[in-house]
Structure 1
Amino acid sequence: MNVQPQTPRLLALLAVVFAPPVLAAGDAPPAAAAAELETAEVSHRTVPREYRLDGVVEAVNRTTVSAQTQGQVEEILYDVDDFVEKGEILVRLRDNQHRARVAQAAAELKSATAELARAEDAYARVEGLYKNENVSESEMDRATAELASAEARLDAAQAALEQAREQLQYTRIRAPYSGIVTNRHVELGEIASPGQPVMTGISLEELRVTVDVPQSVIPAVRKIGEVNVYLPNGLQETEPDVTVVQPERITVFPYADMGSNTFKVRLDLPSDLVDLFPGMFVKTGFVTGKKDELTVPRDAVVYRSEVTGVYVVDPAGKVHFRQIRVGRKHGDELVVLSGLMPGETVALDPIAAGVALKAQARAQAQAQAEGNQDG
């Protein structure tokens, strides 16, 4: 049976399928959207020439605390990876003998004080008699000597008490600064002797970077004295947020290593850095001169997965997405390795440029659809 299609419904369906795209409500015309974009011109800029080297982060304060008196380890209050505040007790030693020595020294001081009081009274009596010529000069000399001897015994007793108290304090081994325990050298119940290592720790408050620099670069380091330290989140140069810090002090060792002919250079870092620990590798850039490089504003660069690009606005006002390769960061600018030419214009607002590019694509599709219908 031959069935005729419903002509009105078929025409309506074809009209929906092949209808040209239209701008959504509120969308600006492509030309107007591109004209409103804030742009910047790609140009050359004089930037420092750097010699890149790997450096190792190390702690300025790294200490092994040792016992200063003998005693049995009675209590261990911290262990490896524990954070310790300055002055906190790390290890307690048994202090019974030291307390007994303090008590003995205190008793000797009390006896010496009484002996000095007796000698002073005797000296006062003999001095009065001597002035009245009732005692001989030898008696006066004997009283003077006994008084000086009593004063000396008192001084010795005071020193012995201070020494005993200091030895008692040594049974409380304390942290010299705030830091992290990296190694523990004693066990509970062990007899600690003077000079025996107890704990090793490092401080994270003061860090520095050690770099082995070739001798050919050392003259520029000493003359210019500029170094950029790239922290771990800035090791990948394609990342938008590259953290660069300048050391507070640069120390160049005055001798070279005999095997590698390199000079050791220490870079003291600022004290307000976070997520940086001893033993980590960082990139360092020693400034050796200046050069002209093509740069682009950081705000204009976008990162889409593994693609780095910019929105280029041509002289006709059309927006194009261009993939580029970027290098080091210099302030608010990024060095362009490839993908752009001097004099080209890039959009500073990638979001607005993306909207303009979509509107431009819709307009082109609409114009193409209208051309197909006319044909």
Structure 2
Amino acid sequence: MDSKHDDCLDDETQAHSDTPHVKSFKGWKLIGGLCLLLATLFLIGWIPRYKQRQLIDANAAYVHVPQVTIMIAKSETKPIDLVLPSSAEALHITPLWARTNGYLARYLVDIGDHVKEGELLAEIDTPEVDQQLEQAIADLMSSEARMELAKITKERWEQLYKKNAEAVPGQEVDERVLSYKSSEADVLALEKNVKRLRYLKQFQKIYAPFDGIITKRDVDIGTLISAGSSGTNPQELFQIVETRIIRFFVEVPQTFFRQIHKGLKANIVIREFPEKNFEGEVVRFARALDPTARTMRTELHVNNPEGEILNGLYSEVTFKMHPEEDSFIVPADAVIIRADGTQIAILDPENKAHIKSVHIGRDFGKTMEVLEGLQENDRVIINPTEKIREGIQVNVVSEKSFT
């Protein structure tokens, strides 16, 4: 009986001792679950923000690194375009001046008119010349009369002297002879004056010196005209140009002058004629360089039978030039001009910039020839900014190839 009672007491005691342990385990499990939930929520919210922050930092670092465009250096073997600015110029551009004083009576042509050689362009009234001519003719007639009288007197004295040399003084005869010669000289001078005035009177009419186009008319009817060789400000009447042949002048850089020769062809582009190109030919060159610009003046001709190329049009003249051996062609904006010389920025395999000194050959305008300092397949930075320094890290945003 006691034994059973003791067993019951033990079971009851064991039951009471197990209950707190079970409750404690369930509490820790609940706390662990809450912690896990909080950690999961934290990770769910923090990881995207962390990645976004990393992306922002990466983008910021990328932005602060200089962005560059590069081109791959290739040795040049094809002909190179040398593009030079020029301007169309008529073969003959002639201002027409008056050779006599007067007033413009009429003009028969105006700007834009085509004229033929010898065509009458204008007439000038010359009242002063007319009066001078009339006076000169009158003076000539009077002088001729005096000369005739002197001649008759001379002949009479010579006859008297032959008949009676002792009665007629020889000095008197000599004076009559000299008087006649003086009158003869006066007549000759007056004849020259009449001829001169008649010649001036011919300049009352202005004629075209050659076939061409009238590009200026600077006078109107009644305008006072001064002779081109007299006065401080003589009046230009017309300007005439001949456009059957058009000239183009270019200044060839020193590095190309050896390739310029008579008969060399060039392509001439005028923006107003986008559908066609004009072929020019070198007709002469200066054979001397401008000591300041180091260029040689070169003249090209282009046939213009239809007159479509107008005097004064801006143009670009392109020569095909042969590159030097082992040379490279780079864009002009890749060349760095500094106090310590001419340089080019290139990239190594790790995209770090390196500044190299180079020797420039010929200048083609948009491109330049590099004779020394570059190697095949060098990655050249195009248009480097001041941020590009030796050893700086850069990002390549685009890459081109020399063609």
Q: TM-score, normalised by structure 2?
A: 0.52
In the TM superposition, residue 211 of structure 1 has moved relative to its aligned partner by 1.1
Deviates more, 1:69-78 or 1:100-109: 100-109
Task: Confirm or deny: 8 A CA contact 1:235 1:242 kept in the other structure.
Answer: no
How many residues are treated as equivalent by the alignment?
240
Distance 2:156 2:240 in 1: 62
Candidates 256, 281, 296, aligned match of 1:246: 281
Check 1:204–1:94 CA distance in 2 against 1; reply closer, same or farther (3 A cut).
same
Q: How does 1:16-95 map to 2 (within 5 A)?
A: 51-95=82-126
Q: How far does the alpha carbon of each residue in 1:145-203 deviate from its partner, in whole angstroms, 9 at most, with x for none?
A: 11111111111111111121122122223332222121222222221222322222211
Compute the displacement of 1:62 (Å): 1.1
Partner of 2:254: 215
SS in 1 for 2:317: strand
Partner of 1:199: 238
**Structure 2 CA distance, aligned partners of 1:261 and 1:79?**
43
User: 1:228 aligned to 2:265?
Assistant: yes
Residue identity opposite 2:253 in structure 1: P
Is the deviation greater in 150-159 or in 90-99? 90-99
Q: CA deviation at 1:269?
A: 4.2
Please identify the structure whose Cα radius of gyration is greater: 2
The partner residue of 1:276 within 302, 305, 309 is 309
**Which amino acid counterpart does residue 156 of structure 2 have in structure 1?**
R
Q: Which letter does structure 2 place at the counterpart of 1:164?
A: L
**Is the CA contact 1:227–1:287 (under 8 Å) kept in the aligned structure 2?**
no
Distance 1:47 1:113 in 2: 83
Deviation at 1:231, TM superposition (A): 5.2
> Does structure 2 retain, via aligned residues, the 8 Å contact 1:50–1:286?
yes
- More moved, 209-218 vs 122-131: 122-131
Separation in 1, partners of 2:216, 2:303: 26
Relative to structure 1, is the Cα distance of residues 274 and 191 closer, same or farther in structure 2, using a 3 angstrom cutoff? closer
CA contact under 8 A between 1:229 and 1:283: conserved in structure 2? no
Cα distance change on mapping 1:149 and 1:179 into 2, 3 Å: same
Matched with 1:324 is none
Residue 49 of structure 1 contacts residue 289 of structure 1 at CA under 8 Å; is this kept in 2? yes
The structure-2 alpha-carbon separation of the partners of 1:231 and 1:214, relative to structure 1 and needing over 3 Å to count, comes to closer
Query: Closer, same or farther in 2 for the Cα pair 1:135/1:255, shift >3 Å?
Result: farther
Alpha-carbon displacement from aligned partner over 1:314-338 (angstroms, at most 9, x marks no partner): xxxxxxxxxxxxxxxxxxxxxxxxx
Q: Secondary structure at the match of 1:163?
A: helix
1:182 maps to what in 2? 215
Q: Is 1:117 the counterpart of 2:148 in the alignment?
A: yes
Question: Counterparts of 1:234 and 1:92 in 2: how far apart (Å)?
Answer: 41
Q: 1:272 to 1:78 in 2, by over 3 A?
A: closer
Q: Which runs of 5+ in 1 are unaligned?
A: 1-45, 292-375
Output the CA distance in 1 between the equivalents of 2:169 and 2:104. 61
SS of match in other structure, 1:97: helix
- Structure 2 portions without partners, runs of 5+: 1-76, 229-233, 325-403
**Where does residue 166 of structure 1 map in the other structure?**
199
- Aligned to 1:104, the other structure's residue is in SS state helix
* Deviations 1:201-252 (CA, angstroms, capped at 9, x unpaired): 211244311112222111221xx44421335699999x7x8653534x2222
Question: CA, structure 1 residues 175+265, in 2 after alignment: closer, same or farther (shift >3 Å)?
Answer: same
Q: Is the 8 A contact 1:208 1:269 kept in 2?
A: yes
2:182 matched residue in structure 1: 149
Q: Is the 8 A contact 2:100 2:126 kept in 1?
A: no
Structure 1 pair 125–207 and aligned structure 2 pair: CA distance change class (3 A): farther
Q: Is the 1:62–1:202 contact (alpha carbons within 8 Å) kept by the matching residues of 2?
A: yes
| Structure 1 pair 271–257 and aligned structure 2 pair: CA distance change class (3 A) | farther
In percent, how many aligned pairs have the same letter?
A: 24
- Cα–Cα, structure 1 residues 107 and 276, in superposed 2: closer, same or farther, change >3 Å? same
In structure 1, what is the Cα distance between the partners aligned to 2:277 and 2:211? 30
User: Which one-letter code corresponds to 2:295 in the other structure?
Assistant: T
Are residues 194 and 243 of structure 1, via their aligned partners in 2, closer, same or farther at CA, if it must alter by over 3 Å? Answer: closer
SS at match of 1:210: strand
Deviations 1:76-111 (A, max 9, x none): 222211122223333322233322332222222222
Any idea what SS the aligned residue of 1:61 has?
strand
Match of 1:256, SS state, is coil
Flag the 1:48–1:137 CA change in 2: closer, same or farther, 3 A.
farther
Q: Give the counterpart letter for 1:217 in structure 2.
A: F
1:280 and 1:263 map into 2 onto residues whose CA distance is 22
Contact 1:228/1:245, CA 8 A, preserved across alignment: yes
Tell me the distance in 2 between the aligned counterparts of 1:59 and 1:220.
26
SS of alignment partner, residue 56 of structure 1: strand
Q: Secondary structure at the match of 1:276?
A: coil
CA distance in 1: counterparts of 2:79 and 2:200, whole angstroms: 58
Q: Distance in 2 between matches of 1:76 and 1:235?
A: 33
Quick one: structure 1 residues 270 and 113, their matched pair in 2 at CA, closer, same or farther if it must change by over 3 Å? farther
